[in-house]
A and B are shown apart, each in its own frame.
Chain A
């Protein structure tokens, strides 16, 4: 597989197709991060696409001092944090209306179990939403995207120790917020 660095270099030399390849490579990751940050599918899709638009415009000046995905994930997270900041009021009043995704297998479950499952997902979404912006970002990148603390530190421009502390705080806070639901598993 062609490396990101090669694709970036090809794009910088005028190969537009190389950019499309980068999009196809990272579109789902970008969307997943955005969704977990904003909890709305349409907004997440828009933000993921906007991140690529930013990348397209900035990539010609990309020096390659960091890895492409580090640079790109920074764009995604910054866009999402800005979006959340802009929509703080909306978030406060409409969390109940945000997307709560039910897995396909729930169709075969009992209605009662579906309701419990849906409520549980809502509570998890609310708990994650209650984390401070940086803790939430770190937690999503670490737990759901499986990035290392060092990679997250590079993306957010912070120290690895600081990122670890953020992650541990986030886990402890989530444990406390979800304590009432742990026995329902």
Chain B
């Protein structure tokens, strides 16, 4: 015998079943002790819950109801009314920025494999040194450059920019450990070193070597 579900018994008590379903449930309950017990248990629960009462508002509270609302309407600061509208927009912008930052930080990993500077043929270094005005007078010895100074060991151009800005701060150079991508070390060396004095360039190279 299929018993009546609790859901149907609840609807039976509340008389929200269809007329046909009400009749079926009623007929079943007449002959099924298990469903009779289940129905009685539910009715006792509803009877218990009916005991829960809400304290009535006093005449004074009722009388002050509208005036208090008017008072709140008139004294509530304008920003409070706008805040609920502004918060979702600010939240959306923050989520967008967060997602954007995460994507930007992950992007370099999808770039081509890094190139080890030590594997670059001497002829290329030489041509670079000869063509570059900024390196005139400086001997850039590839043997002394650390092998770790690969394209992977460079940050993006923003961080390179910071490196140059902080040339007098030796600890800053440590941050090149975080360098992940450097598209064309030669071009960028050239580009960024253009505005530096010879001692500054020497200092950078010195620090890079020390770091290696």
Contact = CB atoms under 8 A, between A and B. Distances in A.
Given A23-B66, A27-B65, A185-B44, A53 B49 contact: no
Contact of B72 (A27, A53, A172): A53
A103 B53 contact: yes
Nearest to A27: B65
B81 A36 contact: no
Interface residues of B, number: 27
Interface stretch (A7-15, A85-93, A151-159, A175-183): A175-183
Contacts of B76: 53
Interface string B162-174: 0000000000000
A49 B51 contact: no
Given A20-B66, A171-B42, A175-B45, 11 more contacts: A23-B66, A27-B62, A27-B65, A53-B72, A53-B76, A101-B53, A128-B49, A168-B6, A171-B6, A175-B42, A182-B44
A99 B45 contact: no
B54 interface: yes
B175 to A, nearest CB: 42
A28 interface: yes
Interface in B5-32: 6-7, 10
A28 B55 contact: no
Contact of A53 (B44, B48, B53, B69): B69
Q: Is the interface of A mostly helix, strand, loop or mixed?
A: helix
A178 B65 contact: no
Contact of A168 (B7, B68, B69, B81): B7
A63 to B, nearest CB: 17
A50 B72 contact: yes
Nearest to B81: A57
Interface string B64-95: 01101100110010000100000000000000
B61 interface: yes
What are the 7 closest A-B residue pairs judged by CB atoms, nearest first? A175-B45, A101-B55, A182-B44, A53-B72, A168-B7, A52-B69, A35-B54
